[in-house]
Amino acid sequence: MKIQEADAKSLLAAQGLPVPPWAVARTAVDARAAAERFLAAGAGRVVIKAQVLVGGRGKAGGVRLAGSPAEAEEVAGRILGMQIKGIPVRKVLVGPAAVIVKEFYLGAILDRASRRIVLMASAEGGVEIEEVAKATPEAIHRVAAHPLLGLLDWQARELAFAVGLAGPHLRDFVRIARGIVATMRAYDADLVEVNPLAIIRESGPEGHVERLACLDAKVTLDDSALPRHPDLEKLRDLDEEDPADAEARHYDISFIHLDGSIGCMVNGAGLAMTTMDLVNRAGGAPANFLDIGGGAKADRVSAAMRLILADPKVRAILVNIFGGITRGDEVARGLIDARARQEREVPMVVRIVGTNAEEAARLLREAAFETAATLDEAAAKAVAAARQATGGAA
Quick one: 54 exposed, middle or buried, by C-beta within 10 A (0-12, 13-18, 19+)?
A: middle
Are residues 329 and 363 in contact, defined by beta-carbon separation less than 8 angstroms?
A: yes
Mean pLDDT of 146-153: 92
* Residues facing 319 on adjacent strands: 265, 350
> pLDDT tens across 119-141, in order?
999 998 877 778 888 888 888 99
3-class SS of residue 331: helix
Residue 352 region by backbone torsions, left for phi larger than 0, else alpha for psi between -120 and 50, else beta? beta
**260 pLDDT band (50/70/90 cuts)?**
very high
Mean pLDDT of 245-272: 90
pTM for the full predicted model = 0.78
> pLDDT tens across 5-51, in order?
999 999 999 999 999 999 999 999 999 999 999 999 999 999 999 99
The alpha carbon of 156 is separated from its chain's Cα centroid by a whole number of angstroms, namely 27
Annotated catalytic residue 130? no
Mean pLDDT of 50-74: 93
Q: Is the pLDDT of residue 340 over 80?
A: yes
Strand ranges (DSSP E) for 79-174? 83-84, 87-88, 92-96, 99-111, 116-122, 140-144
3-class SS of residue 170: helix
**Alpha-carbon separation of residue 183 from 49, 143, 187, 220, 277 (angstroms):** 23, 17, 6, 11, 35
Ranges of H-type helices in 112-266: 129-135, 153-162, 170-187, 243-250
Which amino acid does the sequence have at 269? A
> pLDDT tens across 266-322, in order?
998 899 999 999 999 999 999 999 999 877 777 888 889 899 998 999 999 999 998
Which amino acid does the sequence have at 235? L
| Angle (CA) 220 150 183, round 5° | 30
Q: Which of 103, 105, 187, 251 is catalytic?
A: 105
Q: Is the pLDDT of residue 226 over 80?
A: yes
Which amino acid does the sequence have at 228? R
pLDDT for 128 equals 77
DSSP 243-279: HHHHHHHHTT-EEEE-SSSEEEEESSHHHHHHHHHHH
Q: Which of 5, 103, 124, 193 is catalytic?
A: 193
Annotated catalytic residue 105? yes
Q: Is the pLDDT of residue 194 over 80?
A: yes
- Tell me the average pLDDT of the chain: 91
Which amino acid does the sequence have at 302? S
Please state, in angstroms and rounded to a whole number, the distance separating the CA atoms of residues 254 and 263: 14
The alpha carbon of 254 is separated from its chain's Cα centroid by a whole number of angstroms, namely 14
Strand ranges (DSSP E) for 267-384? 288-291, 316-323, 348-354, 370-371
Handedness of CA 214, 217, 222, 227 (dihedral sign): positive
Please state, in angstroms and rounded to a whole number, the distance separating the CA atoms of residues 264 and 134: 32
| Angle (CA) 331 333 337, round 5° | 115
| Comparison of pLDDT for 330 and 106, the residue scoring more | 106
Q: Is the pLDDT of residue 263 over 70?
A: yes
pLDDT for 239 equals 80
The alpha carbon of 355 is separated from its chain's Cα centroid by a whole number of angstroms, namely 36
> pLDDT tens across 82-95, in order?
999 888 999 999 99
Q: Is the pLDDT of residue 330 over 70?
A: yes
Please state, in angstroms and rounded to a whole number, the distance separating the CA atoms of residues 177 and 142: 12
Q: Which of 79, 118, 87 is nearest to 239 (CA)?
A: 87
Q: What are phi and psi of 192, to 5 degrees?
A: -135, 125
Q: Is the pLDDT of residue 3 over 80?
A: yes
Which amino acid does the sequence have at 229? H
**Element holding 72 (H helix, E strand):** helix 69-80
Q: Is the pLDDT of residue 393 over 70?
A: no
pLDDT for 382 equals 95
pLDDT for 345 equals 86
Omega into 196 within 30° of 0, i.e. cis?
yes
Q: Which of 295, 262, 288 is nearest to 273 (CA)?
A: 288
Using the CB atoms, write b or e for 358-372: b if 16+ within 10 Å.
ebbbebbeeeebebb
Please state, in angstroms and rounded to a whole number, the distance separating the CA atoms of residues 189 and 109: 8
Share of the chain above pLDDT 70, in %: 98
**394 pLDDT band (50/70/90 cuts)?**
low
Please state, in angstroms and rounded to a whole number, the distance separating the CA atoms of residues 245 and 254: 9
pLDDT for 241 equals 75
pLDDT for 392 equals 61
Mean pLDDT of 155-172: 93
